[in-house]
Chains A and B, each alone.
Chain A
Amino acid sequence: MIKTDILIIGAGPTGLFAVFEAGLLQLKCHLIDALPQPGGQCAEIYPKKPIYDIPGFPEVLAGDLVDNLMEQIRPFQPTFTLGERANTIDKLEDGTFVVTTNKGTKHHAPIVVIAGGLGSFEPRKPLIPNIKNYEDKGVSYFIKDPEIYRDKRVLIAGGGDSALDWSIYLADVASEVTLVHRRNEFRGALDSVEKVQSLKNLGRINLITPAEVVALKGDGKLESVVINKSGDTEEEIIKEVDEFIPLFGLSPKLGPIANWGLEIEKNAIKVDTFDYQTNIPGIYAIGDVNTYPGKLKLILCGFHEATLMCQSAYQRIFPNKRYVMKYTTVGGVSGFDGTKREAPKAVVKTID
């Protein structure tokens, strides 16, 4: 069981900055994120895009903003559960919470903060009628352990980086790799595209384009796929395969959090703007995942919400402690790692 003061669900910019504000109040944070790295959308979707409305930064790349936030919160030693999705929440008798992920990791905290952005990123599933019947029986939407595919006949669908990179990787592992894409063109890093081209020339990757997988067949497990090839010669190809891996990117879904008994409006969690608490005391929602009159989904608004949330969370944990907000220019930043950053002291000295 992981224990912390504030459990933050979502490691995007808002969740990361909450660690800083909590740290100033000597509260420890642990973060859960479905993605394998911190940064949320900024790291996953648009790391190379510039942002122009972060106060004090005329221009900052989304990926650099995440790096800066990680550096800013480092003294407060946040811990992470990455690549796991928060599934269930249980309220204990003492008013604290236990949050369990899809992999069974349990987290215990008096305060839960949902900073889940648009939700957890789930693979986009192609519109093949019976695909659900074959999930984990030959169909998977992401590759956890490539060894599963050793000496298997694998078919990958998609035209982006992950489809290209996994085709290259599995060419050395699987007995046969087929790559199906709706276009002749692929979008990816130049060397990935070139590498697939050379593997195709060597006969190590079967390339079927422009084409689409339209049906799956098999008794109890996947045995073959039906491919519609378009372009100059239209034909229907039935291909025997052991594994089908559609890689069509990720799309965010609110997911299990929608069933936590929180008030939901417009696919977002309703909060009180006094402290960004939800209808369940002790559970807060900050950043893009919340809604209230006048809500704007901006990173800078998420930072503000995180700051007010921490003040309220502190009072909830220590109801009888007196506290006033202290400026970092006055108090400096004392990390849990023993580091101390503060303004250099001026000297008072006579000049002869």
Chain B
Amino acid sequence: MSDIKIKIKDREGVLHDVDAPTDMNMNLMEVVRSYELAPEGTIGVCGGMAMCASCQCYVESDHTLPEMSDDEDAMLAEAFHVQDNSRLGCQIQMTEDMDGLEVTLAPES
């Protein structure tokens, strides 16, 4: 069992240092929910199927992220507030490679 450290800036601009487990098959959206960094019902609305963009975040660190699936790519093409470093949190699995990851949650839309 091992935890990684990640930094998450919430929608109010508050920075949170959180420990994320790598052995629970969790993704970034679920980490945000487990720490209640965004109100329930405003994040992970589709449950993590890359179908709603409510978990959109901006990746601020230069980690090599898993490649974007067609579903994620297409969802981000229709989402709002999208920037070059936008990803869907539900598509970023918590693995050891993600240690030190820094993200900012995109505004609710």
List A residues at the B interface (Cβ < 8 Å).
41, 45-46, 49, 118, 124, 126-127, 158-160, 181-183, 185, 187, 248-249, 251-252, 254, 266-268, 297
Q: How far is the CA of A262 from the CA of B81 in the complex (A)?
A: 33
A-B pairs with the 9 shortest C-beta distances? A267-B41, A187-B74, A266-B40, A183-B77, A127-B80, A159-B77, A248-B78, A182-B77, A45-B51
Chain A residue with minimal CB distance to B108?
A251
- Binding site secondary structure of chain B: loop
Nearest CB of B to A141, in Å: 13
Interface residues in B57-109 by Cβ distance below 8 A to A read 70, 74, 77-78, 80-82, 109
Give 16 pairs: A residue, B residue, CB < 8 Å, sorted on A.
A41-B46, A45-B49, A49-B49, A159-B77, A160-B78, A183-B77, A185-B74, A185-B77, A187-B70, A248-B80, A254-B41, A266-B41, A267-B39, A267-B41, A267-B42, A297-B47
The listed residue (A181, A252, A267) touching B40 by CB distance below 8 A is A267
Q: How far is the CA of A297 from the CA of B44 in the complex (A)?
A: 12
Nearest CB of A to B102, in Å: 25
The listed residue (B39, B45, B70, B77) touching A252 by CB distance below 8 A is B45
Count B-side interface residues using an 8 Å CB cutoff.
Answer: 19
The answer to whether B4 has its CB under 8 Å from any CB of chain A is: no
Given A183-B77, A185-B74, A248-B78, 5 more pairs with CB closer than 8 A: A45-B49, A126-B80, A127-B109, A181-B77, A254-B41
Contacts of A185 in B (CB 8 A): 74, 77
- Binding site secondary structure of chain A: loop
Q: How far is the CA of A268 from the CA of B41 in the complex (A)?
A: 8
Number of A-B contacts (CB under 8 A): 52
Q: How far is the CA of A41 from the CA of B49 in the complex (A)?
A: 12
The answer to whether B6 has its CB under 8 Å from any CB of chain A is: no
The answer to whether B18 has its CB under 8 Å from any CB of chain A is: no
Q: How far is the CA of A254 from the CA of B41 in the complex (A)?
A: 9
Chain B residue with minimal CB distance to A182?
B77
Nearest CB of B to A245, in Å: 14
The listed residue (B40, B54, B82) touching A268 by CB distance below 8 A is B40
The listed residue (A45, A159, A251, A268) touching B74 by CB distance below 8 A is A159
Nearest CB of B to A213, in Å: 12
The answer to whether B26 has its CB under 8 Å from any CB of chain A is: no
